[in-house]
Structure 1
Amino acid sequence: MGWLKTSIFSWLGLMGVALFVSQQWVTWTLLITGITALAYLDHKNRGYWRKHGIITADGSVPIFGHLLKSFDNSRMVWEYTNSIYEKYKNSTYVGTYLMWSPSLLITDPEVVKQVTIKDFDHFVDRRTFKVSGKDKYANEMLTSAEGAHWKGIRSVLSPTFSSGKMKNMFPLVLKKADALMEKLHKVTEKGETEVDMKNFYGRLTVDVIGTCAFGFESNCIEDESDEFEKKLAKASNQGMEVIFQILLFFISERLADFLGFGVMARWKYFKDLLTHTIEQRRNSTIKRGDFLDLILEAQAAQAEPGSTKHEISSDTVIASSVIFLLAGYDTVRNTLVIAAHIIAQHQEEQEQLRQELQEIVEEHGSLNYQNVMEAKYLEAVIFETMRMYPLLFALERKCTKEYVLPGTNIKLEKDRFIQVPVWSLQNDELYWKEPSKFNPDRFLPENKGDIVQGTYLPFGLGPRNCIAQRFALMEVKVAVARLIQEFHLSLAPGREELGINKGPMMRPFDTMPLLLTPVS
């Protein structure tokens, strides 16, 4: 689409010149010609799915396609996609348009499995925004890398998240969770107290990332004025500002950079901080065994004679550190906040969870990596939370080579995109009995066999799933377990319902108060 962008800006430039010299007839000629050309291009592209014999979802508008309705602030982020899913789910494939880009919505979990696992070699890549200039390091993020380069980076980073590495990090996570409990006891020392869980869980996740990934102590749990956590919370705010940045970047990357609205502009503070930390670590002989040490060791190993390891550049090290910070803070914090609120809503399930944790301590003396990760009801509670409220409401994959859609003779062209409606599949009564009901029993070992593969996707599916899934689950399990051990959770007056922001991203309200009462 580069030629289109160049043509549009050339046309706008000519029109501006014409206006400047007051040649109104030239201006109107250019305006009419431009609108006609855009209308023709739009009409031509809108026929793409019809030409291929695939139903097109209602609601497409000229130029923007279905994009504007996805950014509608009057409803929840998943609602528009779900309305398409519900109307056309018996069709398996539904055509949509993101501006001029055709995108195929897949509604059948069997096909979801096919494209994400069995035929993954046709769908290796995601939609990416290629960045140049000062932010080009972002192209090295695992979420942005493509093809063999993505595979190479993934192979280098995967050992960082092995069960052995997680077991070594468990005491660090538990120590931070214990520190949070001490802080909450100080806050609630006079009895039942209203506590903003988004605030406290945000501080916990910052401290966990700091100690487990980068070897520094941010002390956000104790110090409410800590600059690091405040900047991270602001940078992670996924509001309309982010959508504006992406749209501006799509129109003109140079203009976005000039105005300070590049897609990575909000992460400059952390990029500079991590660059400094990486240089310090390279010049140090002390090894902490954290994420940063592991990736630097991998970079050094690939430089050894005869090494067959994938090359890890300095940009890759920085990008991997930034994405760990970006994803590790926002997603874990929001999952913890939602889980705590749902547990407070369901007192019977809360007591059952507390009973399981008490039995674990009675048997083993304390929580450890093995018994926390194997706690059946704890896992069921967290999995059911993520089923009802997946932070990623849809998955997207790019077709990297021509592909015949399963069950048809339709060929999907290279560079087209498929979309998987995660929220819809995880909340469809066809696959989940009473999907709006919180029922952790669905995920107990004896019931897991009833779950249809391809309908539960909070971490994605297939080789391109979340690489840090094991670390995220460990942190969430520890944080929830310690909170339930120490406090009884109940709902704050006026905040009985879980507050989710409307608009383009799945996020809890800015404050999420609960009543905490110390468990005697």
Structure 2
Amino acid sequence: MGWLKLSIFSWLGVMGVTLFAGAQWITCTLLITGITALAIMDHNNRGYWRKLGITTADNSLPIFGHFLAALDTKKLPWEFLHSNYERYKELNYFGSYFFWSPNLIVTNPEVVKNITIKDFDHFVDRRTFKIEGKYKYGNDMLTNAEGSHWKGIRAALSPTFSSGKMKNMFPLVMEKADALMNKLHKITGNAETIVDMKNCFGRLSVDVIATCAFGFESNCIEDETAEFEKKLAKASNEDAKMFLEFIVVSFLPTKVKDYFEIGMFARWNYFKDLLLHTIEQRRNSKLKRGDFVDLLLEAQAAQAEPGSTKHDMTEDTMIASSVIFLLAGYDTVLSTLVIASHMIAQHPETQEKLRQELFEIVDENGKFNYQQIMEAKYLEALILETQRMYPVGSILERKCTKEYLLPGTNIKLEKNRMVQIPVYSLHNDERYWKEPNKFNPDRFLPENKGDIVQGAFLPFGLGPRNCIAMRFAQMELKITIARLVQEFQLSLAPGREEIGIKKGPTMRPMDTMPLILTPVSCAEE
């Protein structure tokens, strides 16, 4: 019996070793085969631009392409692209790889104009993400919609952002700017005081969005515990945690994301519910505020008229339009306000020139009005120069939607290839801007605008897919800067002579921006 057990155990042992060895052999074979297949695929994919005769940026790694180099923690995100731009800018374009996906980087303003305007029908789309489940309203965002779907939404929303509609919103924005000035006077009293302008501008941006987009008073300027401000700041956050969340969540099934309410759009649930509540209230009342909710309801009503062929203004479209208005209206305006105020403090002669222009407007009209603010030449020039040096969106993307013959060549760009336009690099290229590192608003004065090369200045994009809310953003920027410089002398705080830009996908200043504010009445004594 012992012999039998020994024989059985010995046989099982031999079989186990054999199977284990076989499993190892199979595993090794599969691993080697997989690696070989990946290597062949990688070589073929990363040879895409070479086969077309287009120069490729150096340091492309197997599988990752240029992705890891762009993530270099020692550099800001656009600096990697800018270094390659400087190297290849004499070419019209060069190639790069996002993992295995080939991207064409455009370096010539003429080619930029072709892609965004002249040959727009070949580049209608941007990089998009298909969204399923309870957050599918994200497909109706102008930044995420494609083809005829995008065109229909854009046509339906365009009247909402006309100059006439913006004029009606002017008093709402001015009221919030006045509220901020009152708050700043309380803080400063009659003496120079260091104030965190990023905090103040953030609260102003929240109050403007709350009143213009949602039709209610968030009172964030006065109430520093306001829930709306905390929710919006969190939803707009672009830190590493958000990026990791996006990567992880993208692999989860839609039902799982919906059940646990996770994903890139879950953070907007609070605002979605608030908007739906506001829309319902507005429909059941005759109250008209001239805000974004009213404009969306007017656009929806217009489609019910006989003969209307516009895109159906569905509930999803209204939600998506409001969310993107929140996202873009809060973060981009806030960042530009912070940087512009720092530039004003850093250049006293510019500040005095601007203040003189503003005082002349007030002397003529007694107070600021829409037309005078929007036509103030030096005010506009200062904001545009800020956006040139520090574009919030440092890269534009367009997707090739049908085969495209690159102008002046025999090179055909395949459908679905991504084209990237390095905004920061074009804005800081000495070929198009004399002394690009110098802050010089004069270059945007009417008499000098003829020197600006179209396609080399893209703060709001270019062509049919430019920022639809450009007028609103510029109006808010102009009102706020005008009222601030009218009321206060701005000076740099000790130790904060430099702006300081955070690491992240967009141009964002550091979490605090201290400036010395002195009431103008005190500064003149």
Q: Smaller-chain TM-score range?
A: over 0.9
Query: Hey, what does 1:11 align to over in structure 2?
Result: none
Whether 1:66 and 2:90 are equivalent positions in the alignment is: no
2:166–2:472 Cα contact (<8 Å) kept: yes
Shift of 1:72: 2.3
The amino acid across from 2:139 in the alignment is N
Q: CA deviation at 1:83?
A: 0.8
Going from structure 1 to structure 2, the CA distance change for 1:448 and 1:215 (only over 3 Å counts) comes to: same
Query: Which residue of the partner structure matches residue 238 of structure 2?
Result: 238
Q: Determine if contact 1:73/1:503 at 8 Å carries over to the other structure.
A: no
Quickly say closer, same or farther: Cα 1:246–1:69, change in 2 above 3 A. farther
1:36 deviation in Å?
2.7
Answering whether residue 405 of structure 2 is matched by residue 411 of structure 1, we say no
Q: Deviation at 1:291?
A: 1.1
Choose 319-328 or 247-256, whichever is displaced more.
247-256
Confirm whether residue 470 of structure 1 aligns to residue 471 of structure 2.
Answer: yes
Specify the code of the residue in structure 2 equivalent to 1:360. I
Name the residue aligned to 2:195.
195
Given the superposition, is the C-alpha separation of residues 256 and 23 from structure 1 closer, same or farther in structure 2, using an over 3 Å criterion?
A: farther
Post-superposition Cα deviations, 1:130-165, rounded to whole Å, max 9, x if no partner, equal: 111121110110110111111111111111111111
- Secondary structure (helix, strand or coil) at the match of 1:58 reads coil
Q: Aligned equivalents of 1:467 and 1:246: distance in 2?
A: 26
| Aligned match of 1:263 | 264
After superposition, residues 419-498 of structure 1 pair within 5 angstroms as: 419-498=420-499
Deviation at 1:303, TM superposition (A): 3.5
Q: Distance in 2 between matches of 1:480 and 1:59?
A: 43
What residue in structure 1 maps to residue 9 of structure 2?
none
Which one is further off, 298-307 or 335-344? Answer: 298-307
Which amino acid in the other structure matches residue 43 of structure 2?
A: H
The CA distance in 2 between the partners of 1:369 and 1:289, in whole Å, is 15
Partner of 1:16: none
The structure-2 alpha-carbon separation of the partners of 1:500 and 1:38, relative to structure 1 and needing over 3 Å to count, comes to same
For residues 95 and 26 of structure 2, what CA distance do their matches in structure 1 show? Answer: 39
Q: Distance in 1 between matches of 2:261 and 2:303?
A: 36
Specify the structure having the higher radius of gyration (Cα): 2
1:334-382, Cα deviation, whole Å (9 max, x unpaired): 1000000111101110011111101111111111001100101100110
Tell whether the 8 Å contact from 1:138 to 1:144 is kept in structure 2 after alignment: yes
Percent of paired sites with the same residue: 72
Q: Which residue of 1 aligns with 2:212?
A: 212
Match of 1:224 in 2: 224
Q: In structure 1, what is the equivalent of residue 364 of structure 2?
A: 363
Distance 1:25 1:133, change over 3 A: farther
Correspondence for 2:279 = 278
* One-letter code aligned to 2:346: Q
Residue identity matched to 2:74 = S
2:387 equivalent to 1:386: yes
Distance 2:249 2:117 in 1: 32
- For structure 2, the 5+ residue unaligned runs are 1-19
What does residue 53 of structure 1 align with?
53
Q: Distance in 1 between matches of 2:455 and 2:308?
A: 38
| Matched length | 501
Residue in 2 aligned with 1:160?
Answer: 160
Q: Which amino acid aligns with 2:239?
A: G
Match of 2:31 in 1: 31
- Deviation of 1:74 after TM superposition, in Å, equals 1.3
- Map 1:323-402 → 2, pairs under 5 A: 323-402=324-403
Q: Distance in 2 between matches of 1:424 and 1:451?
A: 15
Counterpart for residue 79 of structure 2: 79
Say yes or no: does 1:113 pair with 2:101. Answer: no
Residue of structure 2 equivalent to 1:100 = 100
2:4 match: none
CA deviation profile, 1:189-238 (whole Å, cap 9, x unmatched) = 15111111111101101111111122111000110111110111121111
Query: Partner residue of 2:316?
Result: 315
Relative to structure 1, the CA distance from residue 55 to residue 260 in structure 2 (aligned partners, 3 Å threshold; closer, same or farther) is farther
Change (3 A) 1:185 1:47: same
Structure 2: how far apart are the matches of 1:162 and 1:227? 31
Matched residue, 2:3: none
CA distance in 1, matches of 2:139, 2:26: 42
Q: Which whole-Å deviations, capped at 9, do the CAs of 1:65-118 have from their partners, x for residues lacking one? A: 112222222112221110111111112110111112111001000111111111
Between 263-272 and 162-171, the greater mean CA deviation after superposition: 263-272
Alpha carbons 1:74, 1:502 under 8 Å: kept: no
For residues 68 and 324 of structure 2, what CA distance do their matches in structure 1 show?
28
Looking at structure 2, the residues matched to 252 and 25 of structure 1 have their Cα atoms a distance apart, in angstroms, of 33
CA contact (8 A) 1:137 1:319 kept: yes
Give how far 1:414 is off: 0.7
Whole-Å separation in 2 of the counterparts to 1:229 and 1:27: 54
Distance of aligned partners of 1:221 and 1:340 in 2 relative to their CA distance in 1, 3 Å threshold: same
Q: State the match for 1:505 in structure 2.
A: 506
Q: Which amino acid aligns with 2:359?
A: Q
Deviates more, 1:184-193 or 1:284-293: 284-293
Q: Secondary structure at the match of 2:90?
A: helix
SS across alignment from 2:489? strand
Distance 1:171 1:489, change over 3 A: same
* Cα contact 1:253–1:262 (8 A) shared by 2: no
**Post-superposition CA distance 1:250-280 (Å, at most 9, x none):** 5455476677652223222222322332333
Q: 1:175 to 1:498 in 2, by over 3 A?
A: same
Q: Is the Cα–Cα contact under 8 Å of residues 238 and 504 in structure 2 kept in the other structure? A: no
CA displacement at 1:407 relative to structure 2: 1.5
User: 1:368 corresponds to which letter in structure 2?
Assistant: N
State TM-score, norm by structure 1: 0.93
Taking the aligned partners of 1:451 and 1:138, their CA distance within structure 2 comes to 36
Across the aligned residues of Structure 1 and Structure 2, the Cα RMSD in angstroms comes to 1.9
What is the SS of the residue equivalent to 1:186?
Answer: helix
Q: Any idea what SS the aligned residue of 1:266 has?
A: helix
Partner-residue secondary structure (3-state), 1:65:
coil
Q: Which residue of 2 aligns with 1:125?
A: 125
Residue 169 of structure 2 contacts residue 290 of structure 2 at CA under 8 Å; is this kept in 1?
no
Which runs of 5 or more structure 1 residues have no equivalent in the other structure? 1-19
Q: Partners of 1:485 and 1:449 in 2: how far apart?
A: 30
Read off the aligned partner of 2:390 and give its amino acid letter.
Y
Name the CA shift for 1:479/1:102 in 2 (closer, same or farther; >3 Å): same
State the Cα distance separating 1:126 from its structure 2 match: 0.2
